[in-house]
């Protein structure tokens, strides 16, 4: 399906464009939406969750959840977020789990470019 295909700005060993398909394409689109700061795209100034603003997310979990759901509805309507959940790791990092069509996509803060840390004062 064409909506489940994403072209990267890179080439493989045969000098052909790298194409992500199916779950990998959806994961890439979600990751881009999470990392994009609002105002970065002049054609769509409202696009982007702006996860950097939630880097120290103490008390902002509901705001972040609503932002993710709104952004997915607006900019990825083919893949509506069925469920957005947060899991706190032992290291006080916040992982985001987004379910789309029975597949769970995880923003793993421990390995992500922008980790989301939950302050010890939350407890």
Task: Look up the pTM and report it.
Answer: 0.78
Higher pLDDT, 114 or 67: 67
pLDDT, residue 121, reads: 34
What is the CATH number that goes with domain 2-122? Answer: 3.10.450.40
pLDDT, residue 83, reads: 87
Could you please report the per-residue DSSP string of 43-105?
A: TSTT----GGGGSB-TT-HHHHHHHHHHHHHHH-TTS--SEEEEEE-TTSBEEEEEEETTEEE
Higher pLDDT, 62 or 1: 62
Q: Nearest-CA neighbor of 49 among 79, 15, 74, 22?
A: 74
Q: Dig out the tokens for 18 from the structure.
A: 């790298």
- Which band of pLDDT confidence, cut at 50, 70 and 90, is reported for residue 7? low
pLDDT, residue 4, reads: 65
State the Cα torsion 115-72-86-98 to the nearest 10°. -100
Query: What pLDDT digit, counting tens, does each position of 53-71 carry?
Result: 887 766 788 888 999 999 9
């Amino acid at each position: 399906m064409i909506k489940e295909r994403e072209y990267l700005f890179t080439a493989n060993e045969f000098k052909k464009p790298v194409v992500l398909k199916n779950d990998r394409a959806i994961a890439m689109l979600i990751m881009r939406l999470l990392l994009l700061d609002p105002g970065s795209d002049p054609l769509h100034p409202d696009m982007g969750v702006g996860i950097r603003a939630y880097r120290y997310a103490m008390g902002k979990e509901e705001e972040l959840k609503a932002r993710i759901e709104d952004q997915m509805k607006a900019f990825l309507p083919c893949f509506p977020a069925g469920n957005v959940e947060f899991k706190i790791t032992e290291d006080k990092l916040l992982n985001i789990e987004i379910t789309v069509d029975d597949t769970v996509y995880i923003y793993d803060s421990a390995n992500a470019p922008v980790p989301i840390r939950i302050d010890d004062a939350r407890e």
